Amino acid sequence: MIIEMRPDSTLADLGRVISFVENLGFTPRPHHGAERTVIGVMDAAEPDLAPVAELAGVARISPLQSKGKLVSRDFRTEPTVVKVGRLRIGGPRFVVMAGPCAVESEEQLLATAKAVVSSGGHVLRGGAYKPRTSPYSFQGLKEEGLRLLALAREKTDLPIITEVVAPDLVPLVSRYADILQIGARNMQNYALLEAVGKARTPVMLKRGLMSTIDELLLAAEYIMSNGNEQVLLCERGIRTFETATRNTLDISAVPVLHERTHLPIIVDPSHAAGLVQYVPAMALAAAAAGADGIIIETHPDPAKALSDGPQALTFPMLNDLMKQLGTIAAAVGKPLVT
């Protein structure tokens, strides 16, 4: 349920409503928005809270429309802006995260970080722990990969996003990462969602290969209900009958998610398309559809990449794409972060 306070209500009114709800045995979650103050009560049904409507300062009580509560637009109407150092994600500007699928070596990562800076990107991506479909594929450099990411940040000032694959790795990865990535395969790993929910580092949650939008939102709810409200959602393509592309980019997820949640929406055109020749068009489509940013794979020599080479942009391709993105993003009123 949502309790909405009147614009002229006082702090004392709010305090009384909170105590009243607590005395009923429920947990009130107040949120002070720009337009209104609301109190979410996730554990109560309508009849339980009916007397609250009579209290001073209460405008109305209403059921939540969506399955996720804290993630929902009913609870928080204004967009969440995720803060990563000086960077803002989910605000008025479009953000580009770029880098290799996996951190492979100092040389590879530093070259990529420099290319990301010179083409105008804002965040460096790179996997140190790689959840691979085959146990015989390259699994990542692990902590050494994290150290290299930190070195690249030191040299370029780019914040870093990297994947965390297990709950017991959350403290270690959080010491290095500016944004923790939850991979598609782990979207419903609830122990991991709880662990990143208890962390204070922003999290980017990728949509599972076979997950619906409601399931994605409920997975984000796990993170938020554990206390971490700095959450980005990422559409990275879903599995369909189509085999021409690695996955099918569900571009409609962008407006649907914007309607249902206040959380920022990032699109990953690389894992969606799987083939480099389709990636730029998908990236531009994401900007045109109103996404808050993209995360994209690039590599100094895609043919030699240890993972996801076929979908990696070369540096000149990234540079060209950034120029086109600038045009599209500005045209839809969300220019690139400068």
Q: Site residues (CB under 6 A) for ligand PEP?
A: 101, 127, 183-185, 206, 236, 268, 271
Amino acid, res. 91:
G
**258, interface contact from Mn ion, ligand PEP, none, CB < 5-8 Å by kind:** none
Cα–Cα distance measured from residue 145 to residue 161, given in angstroms and rounded to the nearest whole number: 12
Q: How far is CA 12 from the centre of its chain?
A: 36
CB of 204 to ligand PEP, least distance (A): 9
CB of 73 to ligand PEP, least distance (A): 25
Q: Is residue 163 near Mn ion by the rule CB under 5 A?
A: no
CB of 264 to ligand PEP, least distance (A): 17
Contact call for residues 232 and 261 (beta carbons, < 8 A) = no
| Residue 101 or 205 with smaller CB distance to Mn ion | 101
CB of 101 to ligand PEP, least distance (A): 5
Exposed/middle/buried for 200, CB within 10 Å: 0-12, 13-18, 19+? exposed
| Residue 16 or 185 with smaller CB distance to ligand PEP | 185
| Residue 236 or 258 with smaller CB distance to ligand PEP | 236
Cα–Cα distance measured from residue 268 to residue 249, given in angstroms and rounded to the nearest whole number: 9
Cα–Cα distance measured from residue 317 to residue 335, given in angstroms and rounded to the nearest whole number: 20
Kind of pairing between the strands at 28-32 and 37-41: antiparallel
| Residue 74 or 308 with smaller CB distance to Mn ion | 308
| Residue 131 or 290 with smaller CB distance to Mn ion | 131
CB of 260 to ligand PEP, least distance (A): 21
| Residue 90 or 99 with smaller CB distance to ligand PEP | 99
CA–CA distances in Å: residue 36 to residues 3, 32, 49, 72: 11, 6, 19, 15
CB of 268 to ligand PEP, least distance (A): 6
Count the site residues for Mn ion by CB under 5 A. 2
Residues in region 268-327 near Mn ion by CB under 5 A = 308
Cα–Cα distance measured from residue 175 to residue 183, given in angstroms and rounded to the nearest whole number: 19
Q: Which residue is nearest to ligand PEP (CB)?
A: 183
**Separation of first and last alpha carbons in the chain:** 40
Binding region for Mn ion (CB under 5 A)? 101, 308
